[in-house]
Amino acid sequence: MIHIRRAGALDCGPLADLLNAIIARGGTTAMTRPVSRDDLAVWMSTAPDRSAWHLAEDAGGTTLGFQWIAPHEALPSQACDIVTFVAIGRTQLGIGSTLFAATRAAAQDLGYAWINATIRADNSGGLAYYQSRGFEPYARQSATRLEDGTLTDRISMRFDL
């Protein structure tokens, strides 16, 4: 059973561990350097007012994934940006779907009209996930340089609330 709840400061250690495993595996996130518990705590504590963080956990309290929305300087005020991470080996089990139901409701409650997801073009799993939620591609950024120097295209997708 998957339980969704708001993420808080005490969750930053498990969230960092989950994210670092994804970063170390490579190929799906634009992040290329490990993050610490403190990094996530800062991101969470300094997030703008119109932000929401959710995590998915199993009955034993193991973190299965997390998702957050926040305004982004490149987007209009009626849009928020979304980020999703699911534990390696735990995709296609309903974790992302369950997270998105909570995040979608939070986005509506925060007054957003649409949600933006920007995904690496080589992240077929991420593209399929957002497309299966109803996101539609609307822009492509070519040869975006990641922090480690890797060049990758990025696709922006939109979900109207």
Domain containing 152 equals 3-160
> What is the per-residue pLDDT for 158?
98
> What is the per-residue pLDDT for 44?
93
Q: pLDDT digit string (tens) for 22-69?
A: 999 877 777 778 999 999 999 999 888 899 999 999 999 999 999 999
> What is the per-residue pLDDT for 127?
93
CATH number for the domain that contains residue 123? 3.40.630.30
3's tokens: 């339980």
143's tokens: 């040869």
The percent of the chain in helix, strand and coil, each rounded to the nearest 5, is: 30, 35, 35
Q: pLDDT digit string (tens) for 77-121?
A: 999 999 999 998 776 678 999 999 999 999 999 999 999 999 989
Q: How many domains does the chain have?
A: 1
> What is the per-residue pLDDT for 88?
86
Q: From the centroid of its chain, how far is CA 72? A: 13
> What is the per-residue pLDDT for 115?
98
CA-closest candidate to residue 156, choices 132, 133, 140: 140
Kindly give the residue spans of alpha helices, DSSP state H, lying in the chain: 12-25, 37-45, 95-109, 124-133
Which whole number is the average pLDDT over 5-23?
95
Q: Is 65 helix (H, G, I), strand (E, B) or coil?
A: strand
> What is the per-residue pLDDT for 58?
93
H/E element holding 39?
helix 37-45
Quick check: 3 pLDDT over 90?
yes
> What is the per-residue pLDDT for 1?
87
H/E element holding 108?
helix 95-109
In the numeric block, the tokens 């009955």 are attached to 59
34's tokens: 């490990």
> What is the per-residue pLDDT for 145?
83
